[in-house]
Amino acid sequence: MRRFIVSVLLIIICFLLQTTVFKGIAFGGIVPNLLIILTASFGFMRGESTGLIIGFFCGFLADIFFGNVLGLNAMIYMYIGYANGKFHRIFYPDDIKLPLCLILFSDLAYGFLYYITLFLMRARFYIRYYFLHIILPEVVYTLLITLLLYPLILWLNKKLEDAEERSARKFV
Amino acid sequence: MSPIVKKKGEKFTLPGKYLLFILTLLCTGLIVITFNTNFLSEPVSALGGAVIAPLQEGISKAGSWLSTRSRELVQIRSLLEENEKLRAEIDELTMENIRLQQDRYELTNLRELYDLDAQYDEYEKVGARIIARDSGNWFHSFEINKGTEHGLAIDMNVMAGSGLVGRIVDVGPNWSKVMSIIDDNSNTSGMVLSTSDNLIVSGDLRLYAEGVISFEKLIDSADRVVEGDKIVTSNISDKYLPGILIGYISSISVDSNNLTKSGLITPAVDFEHLEEVLVITQLKQPPGGN
């Protein structure tokens, strides 16, 4: 229950920040993708199921407000969360290289999937331009923010795990 | 590969694989439904309006405060330099002012000619504040803090200052989503004010950075359209009210088919620093009254 509330709050806060505050301090009109950080982190920290559920809700929120169709973002985020969950087995909390790499590739994958579904389908073939001006800056900015946000998510997760362990022990 | 059941306890857990499959089906269903119909948007947007929109409204104030501060910091450095430059410019502008006044007479004449006089004033307008922008970097849609409760509806035109911003594409009880004309998937039917030639104005992601939008399919065999001409929304558009200023032609060239022309338009609205907009609460086509 506690985990559920914290997750919901995290998703809402990240979404709010991304659509309001970060739009105000965007460098060159590019905002970092906090929702990807959240989805990917939960994926490799908690496993496939959590990753895909968090991804689904992150994407769904983006769809409600800014999607042309409902469910497209939800699907992309969900698959990214699921794919990150595959790395749960080789994830160690002390290691920051793997999370950074995973978030980098997640954001890249998100950019490409989004391009394919919403731009390539409308016969916009300037992938080189989009890569250099949209996808790449977003990835770099996202990675920078990851360095700040990721330790926070990690800390929260650890706190939650500790609390869960304590209450589990109480019942035994 | 057998499904990995992580917790063996009294709690039933669904393996990720199956959950993924189910949710994929759900998403696909939602995409198909919302692509073709509209009936899901109402409950969903009501849900979003109840929780997210009020929060966004509060936080976006903090966001705009931050952006104002950061803009100030950047400006202080260049202010001194700019001051000198501005003084020189004043002289230039005085000259230009005289020229513009002449232009204004011309504009008044043109407006009368096209019955545009006081047209903007005739439309009922509602002011609204932008509370959030698209979560990604691909489109330029944004959210405003008014919705059906304030009498807004889908397809209402949105203006800022004297220019066209876009139209409402989604509406909730206390928020609406506005698709701007610079959005990559936006096409607007426009008209050259001086010659009444029709053209199609379309946003393009690649042109955002330069602050222009493109136009195409302008048939101008008499070569009368020149750079600097005003583009307004056309009479034949079924979403936009006629005669709203879109922008000015900044470059024009003949297409390879030698029949039509295309080029770039500088929008009349500064989309980068948009904070408040006006929504015209009059629809071009009243619902059901086709």
Q: Give the SS3 label for residue B245.
A: strand
Spatial separation of the C-alpha atoms in residues A165 and B11, rounded to whole Å: 16
The residues, ordered by sequence, that sit 6+ positions from B43 with a Cβ below 8 Å of its Cβ are none
Contact A134 B205 (CB under 8 A): yes
DSSP state of A135: I
* Token pair listed for A94: 């002390």
Out of B138, B177, B184, name the one closest to residue A65 (CB). B177
Residue window 145-184, chain B: list those with CB within 8 Å of chain A. Answer: 175, 177, 184
* pLDDT per residue as tens digits for the range A83-117: 999 999 999 888 888 999 999 999 999 999 999 98
Q: What are phi and psi of B213, to 5 degrees?
A: -125, 160
Q: What share of chain A is helix, strand, coil (3-state, %, to 5)?
A: 80, 0, 15
DSSP secondary structure code for residue A27 in this structure: B
Cα–Cα distances in Å, from A6 out to A151, A162, B37, B229? 16, 14, 35, 55
Q: Which of residues 54-83 of B touch A (CB under 8 A)?
A: 55-56, 59-60, 62-67, 70
Q: Which residues of A are less than 8 Å from B45 in CB distance?
A: 64
Give the per-residue pLDDT at B208.
78
Q: A59 versus B2: which is more confidently predicted?
A: A59
What's B69's DSSP letter? H
Q: Which of A16, A23, A114 sits opposite B138 (nearest CB)?
A: A114
Q: Please tell me whether residue A134 adopts helix, strand or coil conformation.
A: helix
The string of pLDDT tens digits covering residues A104-159 is 999 999 999 999 988 888 888 888 888 988 899 999 999 999 999 999 999 999 99
Chain B residues in contact with A31 by the CB 8 A cut-off are 135-137
CATH entry, B40-89+124-284, from 2.40.10.340, 2.50.20.10, 3.30.70.60, 3.40.1160.10: 2.40.10.340
Q: What is the mean pLDDT of residues A51-56?
A: 92
Taking the C-alpha atoms of residue A149 and residue A142, their distance in angstroms, rounded to an integer, is: 10
Interface test with B, best of A1, A4, A16, A66 (most B CBs within 10 A): A66
DSSP per-residue string spanning B32-61: HHHHH--TTHHHHHHHHHHHHHHHHHHHHH
| pLDDT of res. A172 | 62
Domain map of chain B by residue range?
40-89+124-284
Closest residue, chain B, to A141 (C-alpha): B137
Residue A79 predicted with pLDDT over 90 = yes
CB nearest to A16's CB, from B56, B134, B137: B56
Whether the pTM exceeds 0.90: the reply is no
Query: Would you give per-residue pLDDT tens digits along chain B (290 residues)?
Result: 445 554 445 556 778 788 888 888 988 888 888 888 777 777 777 777 777 777 877 777 777 777 777 777 777 777 888 888 888 888 788 878 878 887 887 777 666 655 544 556 677 888 888 888 888 778 888 889 888 888 898 889 998 877 899 999 888 888 898 999 988 888 889 988 888 888 999 988 888 778 889 998 888 878 888 888 888 898 888 888 888 889 999 999 888 888 899 999 999 888 877 888 889 888 877 765 44
Question: What distance in Å separates the CA atoms of residue A54 and residue A39, rounded to the nearest whole number?
Answer: 6
Q: What is the mean pLDDT of chain A?
A: 88
Burial (Cβ within 10 Å: 0-12, 13-18, ≥19) of residue B150? middle
Please compute the mean of the pLDDT values over residues A55-66 and round it to a whole number.
88
A23-50 pLDDT, tens digit per residue, is 777 777 788 999 999 999 999 999 888 9
| Structural domain boundaries in chain A | 2-167
Of B34, B52, B208, the CB nearest to A69: B34
Is B285 in contact with B157 (CB distance < 8 Å)?
no
- Residue of B10, B137, B177, B271 to mutate, testing the A interface (most A Cβ within 10 Å of its Cβ): B137
Contact B52 A23 (CB under 8 A): no
- Residue A73 CA to residue A88 CA, distance in Å, equals 23
Instruction: Annotate B91-139 with DSSP letters as a single string.
Output: HHHHHHHHHHHHHHHHHHHHHHHTT-TTHHHHS-EEEEEEEEE-SSSS-
The CATH-assigned architecture of domain A2-167 is Orthogonal Bundle (1.10)
Report whether B19 contacts A82 (CB < 8 A).
Answer: no
CA distance B244 to chain A (A): 25
Closest chain B C-alpha to A20 CA, distance in angstroms:
5
The predicted structure's pLDDT at residue A74? 92
CB–CB of A111/A138 below 8 Å?
yes
CB contact at 8 A, A108 and A40: no
Chain A touched by B19 (CB under 8 Å): yes
pLDDT number for residue A104? 94
